[in-house]
A and B are shown apart, each in its own frame.
Chain A
């Protein structure tokens, strides 16, 4: 037999006292309590703000912290790069985020990934693509610091690994065909 409930008393702040009618526990009194008072976390005392809102606020804080860290990384990278550039290069970098670097084989423009212009000493015009390993982890300015130092110290290595193309041609893998007759040593002498 399915018991029914008979209202005995409504108790403010507590719940409703009822008596079971019929069934195995006929005559027993039961206090019915609102679910919000007995669910885990005592939810009726929680602020009325939906939990999703709090989660979003935490995410917003995280995003803001990451943005600040990224901005600081960019400041450090910019400062290091600019300290390595000469006045002319620094002016180029500040005005258009690119700068030219002289090498024994011609001038290379750093500043655009996958689009490094190369003006060879023999008039050759090529577009090069060279990057540091795992470059996407680095702030932009660090990428150019990396390439600038390698290009300065070991230009041959730079051109050996570069992929290249003519301005309207298809990409080819390195080494880049270089003008003959110049060496890093002779270039250093020329610049000196």
Chain B
């Protein structure tokens, strides 16, 4: 099962899918594209892996165990 975690005021909102659940994968893909359109950055990692093993991704990978979405950054 894959999980997408989108950072927000609740900590993060999780979107989950199973590889054999085509509608759930399509829904996750749509959310991926929606987040990407907001200039957010996606990172894929094996569940629980440290930051060194997190990889920047630019397209949805249903096989990813966990995708973390972070916001664009700016000078404070």
Contact = CB atoms under 8 A, between A and B. Distances in A.
Contacts of B71: 132-135, 146
B75 A130 contact: yes
Interface stretch (A24-32, A44-52, A79-87): A79-87
B73 interface: yes
Given A83-B48, A85-B50, A152-B51, A146 B12 contact: no
Contacts, number: 102
B70 A113 contact: no
A91 interface: no
Interface residues of A, number: 42
B70 A174 contact: no
A94 interface: no
A137 to B, nearest CB: 5
A129 interface: yes
Given A137-B9, A138-B7, A146-B70, A154 B56 contact: yes
Interface in A137-160: 137-139, 142, 145-150, 152-154, 157-158
Given A76-B12, A138-B9, A145-B7, A84 B74 contact: no
Interface of A: 69, 72-77, 80, 83-86, 113-114, 129-135, 137-139, 142, 145-150, 152-154, 157-158, 161-163, 173-174, 191
